[in-house]
Structure 1
């Protein structure tokens, strides 16, 4: 199957209906900047080696540069009476059609929603869309300090292929290693079924948060 990811992103609803993924817009930048004010996010190596912005205005500029030209989804939580709440992002950072390879990233969920299977649910929706458009291999690059993300991806079904040493240079001149994980289209049906089973308790109880 040939990789044919449309440039324009659709709107995706997760299997429980708790979350909606929609194209990231300029109106979401300030909401994401407020999430990035949390110290816990930066402690995991977030930022691809760049210095943490010191002000809200600097964070807005950082987000604009970091997301420029990429296909990024905004993630909104639908379980509040006042309307959808922005809780983070995920998306596509790189594609290579001849090898049917897709790299996903820019995944960030508000710490207020950690531990609530949000990433499991969002990943399921994103990967359903990616594999349905011909992806044969999905990759993730993760900072070795981000144990939460690595553990989450491994539980989901991604395989750690190794560490790409001295992968990129930080703004301070030091070098950064990257853990490479992957998931193949042949593995997806079984992993998808397992992910759905992991969400059964959420769907059955109608729990939102």
Structure 2
């Protein structure tokens, strides 16, 4: 089956419907900037070696530059009264139709949702769609310092293929290694079964009270 990815992304509900993926738009830039003010995200190697923006204007320009021309989904959480809440992004950074190869990235989820299997659930929905569109191999490039992401991806079912040493130069002149992970279409049925099975306890799970309080104040 040939890889065919549309220019206009669809809307994808996740397995438990706690989250929904929809095309990233201009009105998502400001809320993404709010999430990227969190130090915990940058501490794990976010930014592909770029310097962290020093001001709000620089951050907004940085987001526009990193997302330009890419197929990116906005992630919304549906479990709060008052409508869906923007909590992050994920998407496609590279695709090769003849090789049926897709690289995914630009994944950022608000630290308020860490520990709730949000990334796990979102990734299952994204990969379901990509494999249905003809992907044969899905890749991720991860900074070795991002232990949270590496652990999450390997638990999900991705295979670490190795480290691309001295892959790119950071703005400070130092060189950055990249860990390469992949998941093949032949592996997806078993990985998908395990992934969805691990979410059974999350189905119809209400938002925790601390989350309701936090985001009702933010609104």
Give the TM-score taking structure 1 as reference length.
0.98
The number of residues matched between the two structures is: 208
Q: Which runs of 5+ in 1 are unaligned?
A: none
C-alpha distance in 2 between matches for 1:57 and 1:79:
31
2:41 matched residue in structure 1:
41
1:85 matched residue in structure 2:
85
C-alpha distance in 2 between matches for 1:172 and 1:74:
31
Please state whether the residue corresponding to 1:94 is helix, strand or coil: strand
2:105 matched residue in structure 1:
105
C-alpha distance in 2 between matches for 1:69 and 1:50:
19
C-alpha distance in 2 between matches for 1:126 and 1:189:
14
Q: Give yes or no for contact 2:18–2:77 (8 Å, CA) kept in 1.
A: yes
How well do the aligned residues superpose, as a CA RMSD in angstroms? Answer: 0.8
Q: Give yes or no for contact 2:31–2:86 (8 Å, CA) kept in 1.
A: yes
Q: Which runs of 5+ in 2 are unaligned?
A: 209-219
1:64 matched residue in structure 2:
64
**Deviation for aligned residue 1:55:** 1.3
Give the TM-score taking structure 2 as reference length.
0.93
1:11 matched residue in structure 2:
11
Matched, 1:196 2:192: no
C-alpha distance in 2 between matches for 1:82 and 1:98:
44
C-alpha distance in 2 between matches for 1:53 and 1:144:
22
C-alpha distance in 2 between matches for 1:31 and 1:99:
35
Cα deviations across residues 128-148 of structure 1 (Å, max 9, x unaligned)?
000000000000000000000
Matched, 1:206 2:192: no
1:187 matched residue in structure 2:
187
Q: Give yes or no for contact 1:21–1:75 (8 Å, CA) kept in 2.
A: yes
C-alpha distance in 2 between matches for 1:164 and 1:137:
18
1:136 matched residue in structure 2:
136
